Structure 1
Amino acid sequence: MEEIHSETAKPDPEPKIIGLTGGIGSGKTTVAHFIEELGFPVYYSDDRAKSIVNEDDGLKLKIKQLLGEDSYDEDGMYDRKYVTGKVFKNNDLLEQLNEIIHPAVRIDFEDWVKKQSKYLVFKETALLFELQLNLQCYKSLLVTAEDNIRIKRVMDRDQKTYREVESVMERQMPEKDKIRLADYIIYNNTNLEDLKEQAEQIIFKIE
């Protein structure tokens, strides 16, 4: 009698996570949109964090305990301007705030990954290397540009002064350190067509 062998279905492989980062004014969000146009899902960590601090009651309580009731306005919404003012020049407070928010974002990201069907997914975050999130990624992709170009972009976009933008950049990890850590680098010094071409070439290399 012929034996019948039942084949168990193999589970789909876990998608490979590509960390996407860049300092203020680098253009990482523009690159993220190009990546989405190429058909790959992007998790926007910074945007999700802005939502999570308003959605998670436990998170709200911890933030209020750390920074005070004024961390949320009278409508119960996260007061970003107030919080930024509290932590901007206080590294200890900023570190404590990150220790509250980032674990919640990590859980949200893990849930998001489980719902994806693509073999490559991208995690966009400004703090990829600062929080050593690159160690959890298959590869890392840095978007960078010359300092003067980045400063002008942010001045035009956010109506900030040169010194205001410069002070933000001074608090971020130096570009030379990010370049040393990144697996792939996109230089966003020219135009959108060149930027898109670089993104396509790197996706091809990763694939």
Structure 2
Amino acid sequence: MFVVGLTGGIGSGKSAVSQLFEQLAVDVIDADQVAREVVEPGEAALAKIAQRFGSDILLSDGNLDRKALRKIVFEAPRQRDWLEQLLHPLIRDRILLKLDNSKAEYAILASPLLLETDQHLLVNHVVVIDVDEATQISRTTERDNTDAEQVEAIIAAQIPRDQRIAKADDLIDNSGTPDELKPLVEKLHTKFLQKARQERESDFG
């Protein structure tokens, strides 16, 4: 299975790009969605998080208060390290399971932490979605109703923009409009179909 890693900083437009690939019948495994799955009620990870941070970290319906947890871990690096050590192996295992079950021509692993974790080892090709920091902040504050200071802390915790770009096999400039984004994705889709077919031929050759 040919796997494309799709990443970018917060507010860069990973969801928009993922949706365009999904419209082209590509299987997109969203690491953020997987991260939500492993802390759903009934999951062992959620019980461990509640044990460490107290029951106040849970909403009234038993789900994780993700906004409250995000605030805690970005203010306390030691707490973030603990959380990452708990969740990253669980997320990786579930991503692998989803990739194994994919029947598409190729699959995409969309992950904000693709390059910060060992998730990049799961992919054959890296696509980075790029926008400038001011755009990241304005899009995220508008989307999440989050203050700019917290968004800046998230950006600071992610891999620096220049390092992310340096690791890209392909770069998508998403500073334009949605209409400008679609043909960029379609062009990459054609390229990835060809690469996936070449990989299958080499496997059988």
Report TM bin, short chain.
Answer: 0.7 to 0.9
- Structure 1 stretch 166-175 or stretch 64-73: which is displaced more? 64-73
Corresponding residue for residue 97 of structure 2: 111
- Say whether 1:144 aligns with 2:130: yes
Are positions 1:101 and 2:87 aligned together? yes
Which residue does the alignment assign to 1:10? none
1:16 aligns with 2:6: no
Give, in whole Å, the separation in 2 of the partners of 1:67 and 1:135.
32
Give the secondary structure class of the aligned counterpart of 2:104: coil
Alpha-carbon separation, structure 2, partners of 1:156 and 1:67: 29
Find the residue that maps to 1:185 and give its secondary structure: strand
Matched, 1:172 2:158: yes
Q: Is the 8 A contact 2:41 2:63 kept in 1?
A: no
The total of aligned residue pairs comes to 193
Q: What's the CA shift for 1:31?
A: 0.2
TM-score (norm 2): 0.85
Distance 1:109 1:132 in 2: 12
**1:121 corresponds to:** 107
Query: In the superposition, relative to structure 1, how do residues 22 and 57 fare at CA in structure 2: closer, same or farther (>3 Å)?
Result: same
Structure 1 residue 170 displacement after superposition: 2.1
| SS class of match (1:88) | helix
| Alpha carbons 2:74, 2:153 under 8 Å: kept | no
Shift of 1:159: 3.0
Structure with the larger helix share: 2
Equivalent residues of 1:67, 1:86 under 8 A apart: no
Distance in 1 (alpha carbons) for counterparts of 2:68 and 2:175 = 34
- 1:112 and 1:174 map into 2 onto residues whose CA distance is 29
2:57 corresponds to which residue? Answer: 71
Q: How far apart are 1:70 and its partner, in Å?
A: 2.8
TM-score, structure 1 as length reference: 0.85
1:158 to 141, 144, 157: 144
SS state at 2:39 partner? helix
Q: Which moved more, 1:174-183 or 1:56-65?
A: 56-65
CA contact (8 A) 1:70 1:82 kept: no
Of residues 28-37 and 188-197 in structure 1, the stretch that sits farther from structure 2 once superposed is 188-197
Contact kept? 1:151, 1:166, Cα under 8 Å: yes
Secondary structure at the residue paired with 2:75? coil
Corresponding position: 1:26 with 2:29: no
Which of 40, 52, 55 is matched with 2:38 structurally?
52
Q: Name structure 2 gaps, 5 residues minimum.
A: 195-205
What whole-Å deviation, never above 9, does each CA across 1:82-105 have from its counterpart, x for those lacking one?
Answer: 322321122221121111112222
8 Å CA contact retained: 2:9, 2:158: yes
| Gap runs ≥5 in structure 1 | 1-14
- Alignment partner of 2:40: what SS? helix
Instruction: Give the aligned residue type for 2:120.
Output: N
